[in-house]
């Protein structure tokens, strides 16, 4: 953190700014909450436990997040992008690389590399959400928001493939988006790496092959 002060010498002293301290505190609380949700389950986790693990007063947790559902949402957002910068997933540099790629099959590969990264971080928390949403309307809404974001992303993928005239004959962009969303769902990741015992890489490779078959009409090799 002292580095960042050197970067901005005008702040005069070498202490972290108030904004930086707030951000570090929030980050610590979110990380503690994520650990507890995964270890103890969402229902069993209390805000007191979160505060204790983060080393802050429980009032601080309430002040920053208000309730447990907000904490889970923050934890999911952090997991989705891998940091707590306020930059949405679809505004990140990886998408530029995908957009610049001419080869449709390679687009799917790059897409699935990113999908693997994201789901590797997000899936454990998503599994918590999914298994608890029946008893918590906030979590059900969270799950739906997450699914809606994923659908938007797959519409972008289908559009890129259509721009390259790569969709197999008869397949509309909308149908391609739906198919892509379904084939590479978070549910399938959870099922593959859980019940089936696949490595995350096997899930990625299998899913990329299924996507190429279904969207591009490639014959499996």
Residues that bind its own copies (CB under 8 A): 41-43, 128, 130-135, 140, 144, 147, 151, 168, 178-179, 181-183, 185, 187-188, 190-192, 195-196, 198, 206, 209-210, 213-214, 217, 219-220
Residue with Cβ nearer its own copies (5 or 127) = 127
Residue with Cβ nearer its own copies (21 or 151) = 151
> Considering the complex, what minimum distance in angstroms separates the CB of residue 191 from its own copies?
6
* Count of positions (residues) in the chain: 221
Residue with Cβ nearer its own copies (43 or 82) = 43
Residue with Cβ nearer its own copies (41 or 159) = 41
> Considering the complex, what minimum distance in angstroms separates the CB of residue 201 from its own copies?
15
């Amino acid at each position: 953190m002292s580095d960042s002060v050197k970067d901005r010498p005008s702040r005069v002293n070498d202490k972290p700014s108030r904004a930086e301290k707030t951000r570090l505190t929030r980050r610590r609380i979110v990380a503690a909450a994520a650990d507890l949700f995964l270890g103890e389950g969402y229902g069993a986790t209390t805000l007191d436990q979160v505060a204790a693990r983060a080393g802050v007063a429980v009032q601080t947790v309430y002040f920053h997040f208000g309730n447990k559902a907000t904490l889970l949402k923050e934890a999911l957002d952090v997991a989705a992008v891998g940091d707590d910068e306020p930059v949405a997933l679809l505004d990140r540099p990886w998408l530029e690389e995908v957009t610049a790629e001419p080869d449709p099959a390679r687009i799917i590969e790059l897409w699935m590399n990113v999908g693997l990264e994201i789901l590797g971080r997000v899936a454990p928390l998503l599994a918590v959400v999914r298994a608890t949403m029946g008893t918590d309307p906030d979590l059900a809404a969270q799950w739906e928001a997450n699914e809606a974001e994923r659908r938007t992303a797959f519409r972008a993928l289908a559009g890129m493939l259509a721009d390259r005239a790569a969709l197999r004959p008869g397949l509309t962009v909308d149908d391609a988006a739906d198919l892509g969303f379904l084939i590479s769902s978070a549910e399938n990741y959870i099922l593959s790496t859980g019940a089936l015992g696949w490595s995350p890489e096997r899930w990625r490779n299998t899913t990329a092959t299924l996507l190429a078959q279904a969207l591009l009409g490639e014959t499996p090799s």
